[in-house]
Chain A
């Protein structure tokens, strides 16, 4: 962008050496220290730890003297140092300085009137003085913009757009941007960076890009910290022209926060046993739906569907799939070691009145989750037994030491060798050990090996 000025060359010739001598010295110094270290270490053992000196050579573990190290030092000295009070107000005017040769002020009052759009853009690219003053007619302004786009220079495109923003009415600028996609995207990005979201929303609306406009508007909620104001803002979003799908999600967002505010208000002062036993670590505000469901399964399990905080209400309100519900409830109840609740999650009665366990998620996943919550072997064993896939079942049984299942599986596979191998892993004369012994002595079984 900028060209080397004549004084640059002078500098390159003169200062080269100064810059390097210091480093070389540094190297020699550390080399010296190193050899010293090496000699000293003859006497020490093989596995001793060398100090920083050696490290300094090959590890850039923020060596003393590095930039990041030094910045940290400044930071800590600030903290320990005395806090400065508010500065005194003084009324003497500050000295004004003149701008550099290619100042931006020349954007509007330059003296380079007779340059074509091409030449002007070229000068802007080079960072040389230019003037946009004479680009008064709409046609000239657009020629300038199109020229900037034609040379692919985003920096210049934005500069021209800033000029157009100041010298054209919104309506006209928006209209012209409609047919100029590249310029439009630069403009939107510039406005976003300047924090002019409202103008972006207006622009998108004018362009008929209603969904983008709705999303842009919705994004503003992230800037609102106060939860009631955020909830109200989300409510105001409900009428925006989202796509059908997104409209549902935004509605959910509003409902969720509304519920969370209610739950939070009451749970903050809750006295129930569960809150004492497991004090809440954080507020539930602004958590995802599933986290809220987990929370509700943890603290409000068994509440009737009528209450906002009950799992069944949340499940229904947010159309949570059975699979997702079971996973979340399982996690929460297992965490509390309520194995009874865990059982009832999977129990179904068939038409004869027998209870049978059924799950929308693979039982191997169930076992995983139970194990992560340190379920006892009896509980694990029951669920390992329910795993459909024989390979998964066996690996689960081996992993969680469900001996009976392992033994029965090998027996069913008629795998004598594996049984012998497994026997060796067991304690002698334990019931499992004896069980294998009996099986191996059973002459009725036709082993495959």
Chain B
């Protein structure tokens, strides 16, 4: 069932180098504060930090105690406090308060803030305003990229999505540019860059600036091409239920920084187990990209094979037994353990998914993607809301409905919104405002009214403002055009055709054969055409902002010869799902190339929508 690897699939570069660089820099920074010190770490930095350093290393550099940043008063007797944090105003305010409290108490300590991946002026202003600038020294730990797996690199910045797309704050643009610059300086330059989206363009520009400043290295590139894509180019894909094993595990158990915590119901013991999920796990690496329906069969076959392998040792003599133990037993036990965990996880998935009427949910999603029986879908969503089941799922279905239908009819929008607020709380008014601003959940505007209003307003105000207003109106009228795009790019296979999920024929398998992820289809098309030529209509429907640039440094004779020419870096700005990664892996196998995904964070429908909730202070 595991796909046969492309015969000469190119070797991926060794990304563990990035971890070493990050670790060395951290050690250097810790040494800047000699002597014993307590270290306070931002909660969301703990897992990433765990992946590149361990306590022993920290202790070696005189870190005494470790604390999690909780924005509460601290208990520490150390004379030196070091804070390893994301550059957030709230955290810096908390630190300023600590320093001021110490001052009041007449307590003298040294303080150091290490911002990662970079510092912001806004944070330093807080230090200045709170009167602690100078008492606190600051530094930057340029830990831009965490390799989560052989082919997944993460910036571990989930807030990128909300900050950039909802708030319109471009603070992370240079961060993404710097991450690319880092990859380039370690692994060589790229010959071609493609991209689509406003943010993608800015990131490219920011990166180009860095390129122009830095000295050009003339080394053999390890990547051929880079593709930058904004999350808001394709919202449909991350809103769909994931049915590929790794995606489903993420939807159900939430994979955090490449690790998942499986509860007692899965481990069939009384404790939870944290499991690393990556290509090192031999069982997982064979099922991660598979459609869920194939996984059970595969696992039970594996279990049978395992039994046979164990059975081999019956009737062995001492010599054979010795060989068996040293050569095979460890591997078998390892496999045994992995197998029982994944079987446990699958079982628990089955249970949860039948309980939630998962089939019905999937059916509704597929109908929406296909544009089929929309009335029935609306009724289903309405009942989902009425029954007060999962607040996020209800929202997800509403958004899918809106994007696929280019907005909801006024009557439906109002009624569904009212029912949603009744079921989940009126404060979600704020959530609806956010979703509307992002174009995720909208009321259809009558096209005519818009133009009339525009021209009326136009007469009243001066030219400059008209430009602004027109922009505002056109963003209001910004359509997702999903149906037209889907037709143009053949994203939804004709219904009624049999789709054998065991032998996927295209990337649609990641959604049970019902839909090819738009993001991945775009990547496929652009790589095939070596640019956007012929896709003009598509880019117009996606609101433009596409680009394709050829790098100056590519040596033309080396082209198409080295492995590097067949490695494509895809950077998702605003997050990427495991389903998309699986689809790209599939595409890579089909085309004899390999994709390396760089993402600001791993996302899924729940994370995406939770980032847009405004239901708490």
In the complex, what residues of B have CB within 8 A of residue A92's CB? Answer: 106
Contact (Cβ within 8 A) B134 A186: no
Contact (Cβ within 8 A) B133 A104: yes
Alpha-carbon distance A100/B53, docked complex (angstroms): 28
Contact (Cβ within 8 A) A222 B417: no
Which one of A316-324, A345-353, A429-437 is at the B interface? Answer: A316-324
How far in angstroms is the closest Cβ of chain B from A371?
Answer: 13
Contact (Cβ within 8 A) B124 A59: no
Alpha-carbon distance A380/B82, docked complex (angstroms): 64
How far in angstroms is the closest Cβ of chain A from B118?
Answer: 5
Contact (Cβ within 8 A) B423 A290: yes
* Nearest A residue (CB) for B87: A155
**Is B274 positioned at the interface, with any CB of A under 8 Å from its CB?**
yes
Contact (Cβ within 8 A) B24 A100: no
CB within 8 Å for A222 and B426 given contacts A67-B55, A88-B106: no
Contact (Cβ within 8 A) B468 A181: yes
Contact (Cβ within 8 A) A84 B75: yes
Contact (Cβ within 8 A) B106 A158: no
In the complex, what residues of B have CB within 8 A of residue A324's CB? Answer: 386, 419, 422
Contact (Cβ within 8 A) B209 A162: no
How far in angstroms is the closest Cβ of chain A from B491?
Answer: 31
**Is B234 positioned at the interface, with any CB of A under 8 Å from its CB?**
no
Interface size on B, residues (CB 8 A): 107
Contact (Cβ within 8 A) B168 A65: no
Interface string of B195-238 (1 = CB under 8 A from A): 00000001001100100000000000000000000000000000
**Is B23 positioned at the interface, with any CB of A under 8 Å from its CB?**
yes
Contact of B27 among A15, A66, A323 (CB under 8 A): A15
**Is A98 positioned at the interface, with any CB of B under 8 Å from its CB?**
yes
In the complex, what residues of A have CB within 8 A of residue B174's CB? Answer: 1, 125, 152-155
Interface string of B80-99 (1 = CB under 8 A from A): 00000000111000000000
* Nearest A residue (CB) for B70: A75
Contact of B170 among A55, A61, A62, A154 (CB under 8 A): A154
Alpha-carbon distance A390/B102, docked complex (angstroms): 75
Interface size on A, residues (CB 8 A): 112
**Is B429 positioned at the interface, with any CB of A under 8 Å from its CB?**
yes
Interface string of A149-161 (1 = CB under 8 A from B): 0011111111100
CB within 8 Å for A1 and B128 given contacts A60-B259, A96-B134, A186-B169: no
**Is B425 positioned at the interface, with any CB of A under 8 Å from its CB?**
yes
Which one of A39-47, A266-274, A418-426 is at the B interface? Answer: A39-47
**Is A38 positioned at the interface, with any CB of B under 8 Å from its CB?**
yes
Contact (Cβ within 8 A) A153 B90: no
Q: B89, B105, B330 — which one has the most chain A CB atoms within 10 A of its CB?
A: B330
Find residues 42-96 in chain A having any chain B CB closer than 8 Å to their own CB: 42, 46, 50, 54-55, 57-62, 65-71, 74-75, 78, 81, 83-84, 87-92, 94-96
CB within 8 Å for A290 and B67 given contacts A1-B178, A60-B50: no
* Nearest B residue (CB) for A57: B334
How far in angstroms is the closest Cβ of chain A from B420?
Answer: 10
In the complex, what residues of B have CB within 8 A of residue A67's CB? Answer: 41, 46, 49-50, 53-55, 58, 66
Contact (Cβ within 8 A) B426 A97: no
**Is A22 positioned at the interface, with any CB of B under 8 Å from its CB?**
yes
Alpha-carbon distance A215/B419, docked complex (angstroms): 19
Contact (Cβ within 8 A) A65 B422: no
Contact (Cβ within 8 A) A66 B276: no
Find residues 326-375 in chain B having any chain A CB closer than 8 Å to their own CB: 326, 329-330, 333-334, 337-338
In the complex, what residues of B have CB within 8 A of residue A154's CB? Answer: 169-174
Contact (Cβ within 8 A) B329 A38: yes
**Is B140 positioned at the interface, with any CB of A under 8 Å from its CB?**
yes
Contact (Cβ within 8 A) B426 A65: no
Contact (Cβ within 8 A) A61 B107: no
CB within 8 Å for A288 and B169 given contacts A22-B57, A38-B325, A215-B430: no
Contact of B67 among A50, A75, A97, A287 (CB under 8 A): A75
Alpha-carbon distance A97/B168, docked complex (angstroms): 36
Contact (Cβ within 8 A) B107 A90: yes
* Nearest A residue (CB) for B415: A321
In the complex, what residues of A have CB within 8 A of residue B118's CB? Answer: 1-2, 155
Contact (Cβ within 8 A) A105 B133: yes
**A-B pair number, CB within 8 angstroms:** 274
Find residues 1-58 in chain A having any chain B CB closer than 8 Å to their own CB: 1-2, 8, 11-12, 15-16, 19-20, 22-23, 26, 34-35, 38-39, 41-42, 46, 50, 54-55, 57-58
In the complex, what residues of B have CB within 8 A of residue A68's CB? Answer: 46-47, 50
In the complex, what residues of B have CB within 8 A of residue A61's CB? Answer: 273-275
Contact of A100 among B138, B275, B414 (CB under 8 A): B138
Interface string of B116-135 (1 = CB under 8 A from A): 00111110110110000111
* Nearest A residue (CB) for B357: A368
In the complex, what residues of A have CB within 8 A of residue B75's CB? Answer: 78, 81, 83-84
Contact (Cβ within 8 A) A290 B206: no
Contact (Cβ within 8 A) B206 A153: yes
How far in angstroms is the closest Cβ of chain B from A85?
Answer: 11
**Is A113 positioned at the interface, with any CB of B under 8 Å from its CB?**
no
Contact (Cβ within 8 A) B422 A289: yes
Alpha-carbon distance A19/B31, docked complex (angstroms): 13
In the complex, what residues of B have CB within 8 A of residue A186's CB? Answer: 168-170
Alpha-carbon distance A256/B429, docked complex (angstroms): 15
Contact (Cβ within 8 A) B169 A189: yes
**Is A391 positioned at the interface, with any CB of B under 8 Å from its CB?**
no
Interface string of B134-161 (1 = CB under 8 A from A): 1101101010000000000000000000
In the complex, what residues of A have CB within 8 A of residue B338's CB? Answer: 58
Alpha-carbon distance A288/B424, docked complex (angstroms): 6
**Is A253 positioned at the interface, with any CB of B under 8 Å from its CB?**
yes
Contact of A222 among B88, B422, B427, B464 (CB under 8 A): B427
Find residues 23-60 in chain B having any chain A CB closer than 8 Å to their own CB: 23-24, 27-28, 41, 46-47, 49-50, 53-58, 60
Closest 3 CB pairs of A and B: A90-B106, A87-B105, A185-B168
Q: List 10 A-B contacts (CB under 8 A).
A: A20-B20, A58-B334, A66-B55, A87-B107, A92-B106, A104-B127, A105-B128, A158-B122, A189-B163, A245-B417
A2-B140, A58-B276, A71-B67 provided; 13 other pairs, C-beta below 8 A?
Answer: A20-B20, A39-B325, A41-B325, A88-B105, A94-B102, A94-B135, A97-B137, A105-B133, A158-B122, A250-B429, A288-B388, A290-B388, A328-B386
CB within 8 Å of A: which residues of B? Answer: 20, 23-24, 27-28, 41, 46-47, 49-50, 53-58, 60, 65-68, 75, 88-90, 101-108, 118-122, 124-125, 127-128, 133-135, 137-138, 140, 142, 163, 167-174, 178, 202, 205-206, 209, 259, 273-276, 280-281, 310, 321, 325-326, 329-330, 333-334, 337-338, 382-383, 386-388, 414, 417-419, 421-427, 429-430, 433, 464-465, 468, 471, 614-617
CB within 8 Å of B: which residues of A? Answer: 1-2, 8, 11-12, 15-16, 19-20, 22-23, 26, 34-35, 38-39, 41-42, 46, 50, 54-55, 57-62, 65-71, 74-75, 78, 81, 83-84, 87-92, 94-100, 103-105, 124-125, 127, 151-159, 162, 178-179, 181-182, 185-186, 188-190, 192-194, 212, 215, 218-219, 221-223, 245-246, 249-250, 252-253, 256, 286-291, 318-321, 323-324, 327-328, 361, 365
